[in-house]
């Protein structure tokens, strides 16, 4: 399909905007680290407490040489992805059950709200006693943090579907199952994608919180170890790595979102 000159100009402008945004974002990062390094180098800030980009780079290289870094990253990533997959799968299933049985939704609504507002880290000691001081308790902690939010977000997305469309399908004698899988779930794609974005970040937060409590490896363990040894360079290095991982995971979900939107077919 041939494009008109107006379409070409529009696409060109869009590309320029995307490049400008990316360059601006990169510039902000470079300026931030440059100012940080300058302040630390000239003792305007205490480099022992705040570390510095050069010290973080040295610590990063040191971890690479010992071979420990990838092991810790792999541990945290594995736990995060397991919690993420469990959270989104159970979240969708439970949201479907609550949507299909409104009586259950009304019964459990206040309990979901209470569980969502409960500080999950307060349950940490109990989780360790119940499940044990192992990887399972870390994954369970992350699941507790992401699951309730997933259920509430996806369920509310289901409830926001245009009721007139449901009535139209009912007039054609569509079953509840057909309405659910042909209208409700496809129409809630945006909500599910938003839940995925929220889920991946909440899973990572949950895993790090779990690793703070009980872990012998992982980035959360590195942060706690660095704190105990007063090695703030190690703490800051682990935090920077976490930020990078969080960004990459978010970008993967964003790429998935674009592909799903591109392949999305109109319902009616």
Domains of the chain: which residue ranges? 68-263
Q: Which helix (H) or strand (E) holds 113?
A: helix 102-117
Query: Mean pLDDT of all residues in the chain?
Result: 87
Q: Is the pLDDT of residue 57 over 60?
A: yes
Yes or no: say if 190 and 129 are a contact pair by the CB < 8 Å rule.
no
Provide the pLDDT for residue 94.
94
Beta-carbon contacts of residue 49 (< 8 Å; ≥ 6 apart)? 232
Separation CA 92–CA 164 (nearest Å): 23
Question: Can you count the helices (H) and strands (E) in the chain?
Answer: 13, 0
Separation CA 240–CA 216 (nearest Å): 20
Yes or no: say if 242 and 204 are a contact pair by the CB < 8 Å rule.
yes
Tokens of 40: 């630390």
Provide the pLDDT for residue 266.
61
Separation CA 210–CA 223 (nearest Å): 12
Separation CA 132–CA 24 (nearest Å): 47
| Cα Rg of the chain (Å, integer) | 23
| 90-127: pLDDT as tens digits | 999 999 999 989 899 999 988 888 888 887 777 878 88
Provide the pLDDT for residue 170.
84
Which CATH number among 3.40.50.2030, 1.20.1430.10, 3.10.350.10, 1.10.3720.10 corresponds to the domain 68-263? Answer: 1.10.3720.10
Provide the pLDDT for residue 31.
96
Separation CA 173–CA 177 (nearest Å): 12
Q: Is the pLDDT of residue 2 over 70?
A: no
Separation CA 76–CA 85 (nearest Å): 14
| 119-168: pLDDT as tens digits | 777 787 888 888 888 888 899 989 988 898 899 999 998 888 888 888 88
User: CA nearest 234: which of 27, 2, 72, 26?
Assistant: 72
């Amino acid at each position: 399909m041939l494009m008109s000159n107006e379409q070409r100009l529009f696409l060109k402008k869009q590309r320029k905007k995307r490049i400008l945004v990316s360059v601006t974002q990169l510039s902000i990062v470079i300026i931030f680290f440059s100012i940080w390094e300058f302040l630390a180098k000239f003792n305007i800030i205490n480099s022992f407490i705040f570390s510095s980009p050069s010290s973080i780079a040295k610590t990063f290289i040191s971890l690479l040489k010992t071979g420990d870094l990838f092991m810790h990253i792999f541990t945290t990533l594995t736990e995060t992805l397991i919690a993420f997959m469990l959270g989104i799968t159970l979240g969708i299933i439970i949201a479907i059950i609550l949507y299909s049985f409104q009586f259950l939704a009304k019964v459990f609504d206040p309990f979901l709200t209470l569980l969502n507002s409960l500080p999950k880290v307060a349950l940490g000691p109990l989780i360790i006693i119940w499940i044990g001081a192992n990887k399972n308790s870390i994954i369970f902690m992350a699941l507790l943090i992401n699951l309730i939010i997933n259920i509430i977000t996806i369920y509310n997305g289901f409830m926001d579907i245009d009721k007139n469309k449901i009535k139209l399908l009912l007039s054609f004698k569509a079953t509840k199952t057909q309405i659910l899988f042909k209208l409700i779930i496809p129409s809630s794609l945006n909500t599910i994608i938003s839940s995925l974005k929220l889920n991946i970040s909440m899973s990572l937060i949950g895993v790090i919180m779990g690793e703070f409590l009980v872990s012998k490896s992982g980035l959360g363990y590195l942060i706690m170890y660095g704190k105990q040894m007063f090695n703030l360079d190690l703490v800051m290095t682990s935090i920077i790595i976490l930020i990078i991982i969080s960004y990459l995971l978010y970008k993967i979900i964003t790429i998935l979102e674009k592909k799903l939107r591109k392949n999305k077919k109109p319902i009616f």
